Structure 1
Amino acid sequence: MSSHKTFKIKQFLAKKQKQNRPIPQWIQMKTGNKARYNSKRKHW
């Protein structure tokens, strides 16, 4: 990734960074442990 990013790219990466987290415990409880982990988690 280049050090000079456009604002659009920076916004896109910031959104993906926020989405890259495990699911909250209360959602596991709400769904009866059907949703165990975030399958769309990124490994970077």
Structure 2
Amino acid sequence: IKRKLAKAQKQNRPLPQWARMKTGNKIKYNAKRRHWRRTKLKM
């Protein structure tokens, strides 16, 4: 279980600024962002 939690924690970050520059500002934010209270992990 802990490994999954660690992975989820890594994924849950805003997208880096260089990625925004690279895509020409098409991507504005991380679509897969997860809030610990709103959305629960399926585990």
Q: TM-score, normalised by structure 2?
A: 0.80
The higher-RCO structure (CA 8 Å, 6+ apart) is 2
RMSD of the alignment, in Å? 0.4
Identical-pair percentage: 72
Greater helix fraction, Structure 1 or Structure 2 = 1
Q: TM-score, normalised by structure 1?
A: 0.78
Structure having the higher Rg: 1
Q: Which runs of 5+ in 1 are unaligned?
A: 1-8
Q: Which runs of 5+ in 2 are unaligned?
A: 37-43
